[in-house]
């Protein structure tokens, strides 16, 4: 048996082993994905539900809020260049509130993602920061989980704000002549969140009827 033949047979055998290994590995990965995907999706839904419960009392609506969702297209005015989602809360079939995604693009360390809940009367039910990179121990108090004032989190002040009673210019921190408080030494983070919350609230209020009327799972304006 020539050395060339032996080398060819070895290469073919090695290639076949690699093919079998790849097929087995792919099958195992696919099976693992099928088994774990439902749990992953359920976990993601639970996380969404907990976050929504922080901005809107669960007893204030009776529909399947996670299933009653509509998307909106690109909205750079609220920091959502690629569009976002709005969850619709209803009780007895009647509109109660909208929970919308928004963002500040001028945080101290970049983009700050928000969730804003607005009742049909224009009253803010709550605001939560869902993603940020603000300085730990300084600007991260915008996130209630990081806020050292557990008795009175900074973000809680939005629950008493009404869009109809606060003009656009007042949706900033008191240092800038606005309505909302901030923590000394970390004004930029608070200013970014307050202004973004104001813009997002205005976006929702101005489109409230259309957002409630849009088909579930659809995109506003299409």
Answer yes or no: do 20 and 103 share one domain. no
Domain that holds residue 70: 57-213
- pTM for this structure? 0.77
Distance CA 153, CA 218 (A): 35
Q: pLDDT tens digits for 143-194?
A: 988 888 888 899 988 886 766 655 667 788 989 988 888 988 889 999 999 9
Answer yes or no: do 49 and 61 share one domain. no
How much helix, strand and coil, in percent to the nearest 5, is found in the chain? 45, 25, 30
The values of phi and psi at residue 150, to 5°, are -70, -25
Answer yes or no: do 72 and 173 share one domain. yes
The values of phi and psi at residue 10, to 5°, are -65, -40
Among residues 159, 158, 151, 202, which one has the least CA distance to residue 182?
A: 158
Distance CA 53, CA 42 (A): 16
Q: Considering its fold, how many domains does the chain have in total?
A: 2
Give the per-residue pLDDT at 3. Answer: 55
Give the per-residue pLDDT at 2. Answer: 55
> Which tokens hold the place of 58?
């669960």
Q: For the sheet containing 84-91, what is the strand order? A: 69-72, 84-91, 94-107, 110-119, 124-131
Tell me 172's DSSP state: S
Tell me 152's DSSP state: S
Tell me 222's DSSP state: -
User: pLDDT tens track of the chain, all 222 residues?
Assistant: 455 556 566 666 776 677 666 766 666 666 655 655 444 444 445 666 788 888 898 889 999 989 999 999 999 999 999 999 999 999 999 999 999 999 999 998 999 999 999 999 888 889 999 999 988 888 999 998 888 888 889 998 888 676 665 566 778 898 998 888 898 888 999 999 999 999 999 899 999 999 999 998 888 865
Distance CA 41, CA 216 (A): 19
Answer yes or no: do 41 and 83 share one domain. no
Among residues 222, 216, 193, which one has the least CA distance to residue 85?
A: 216
**Cβ count within 10 A of residue 185:** 8
Q: For residue 185, is it within any domain?
A: yes
Q: For residue 112, is it within any domain?
A: yes
Answer yes or no: do 109 and 143 share one domain. yes
Beta-carbon contacts of 211 under 8 Å, excluding residues fewer than 6 positions away, are: 70, 72, 86, 88, 98, 204, 220
Answer yes or no: do 70 and 171 share one domain. yes
Answer yes or no: do 48 and 62 share one domain. no
Answer yes or no: do 82 and 51 share one domain. no
């Amino acid at each position: 048996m020539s050395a060339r033949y032996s080398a060819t047979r070895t290469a073919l055998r090695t290639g076949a082993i690699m093919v079998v290994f790849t097929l087995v590995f792919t099958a195992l990965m696919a099976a693992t994905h099928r088994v774990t995907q439902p749990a992953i999706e359920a976990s993601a839904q639970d996380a969404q539900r907990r976050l929504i419960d922080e901005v809107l009392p669960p007893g204030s609506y009776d529909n399947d809020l996670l299933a009653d969702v509509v998307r909106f297209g690109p909205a750079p005015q609220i920091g959502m260049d690629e569009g976002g989602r709005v969850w619709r809360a209803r009780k007895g079939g009647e509109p109660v509130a909208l929970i919308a995604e928004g963002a500040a693009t001028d945080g101290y360390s970049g983009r700050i993602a928000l969730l804003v809940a607005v009742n049909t009367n224009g009253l803010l039910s709550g605001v939560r920061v869902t993603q940020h990179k603000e300085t730990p121990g300084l600007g991260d108090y915008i996130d209630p989980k990081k806020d050292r004032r557990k008795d009175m989190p900074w973000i809680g002040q939005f629950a008493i704000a009404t869009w109809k009673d606060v003009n656009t210019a007042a949706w900033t921190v008191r240092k800038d002549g606005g309505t909302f408080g901030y923590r000394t030494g970390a004004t930029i983070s608070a200013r970014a969140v307050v202004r973004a919350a104001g813009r997002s609230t205005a976006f929702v209020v101005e489109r409230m009827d259309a957002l409630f009327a849009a088909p579930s799972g659809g995109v506003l304006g299409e």
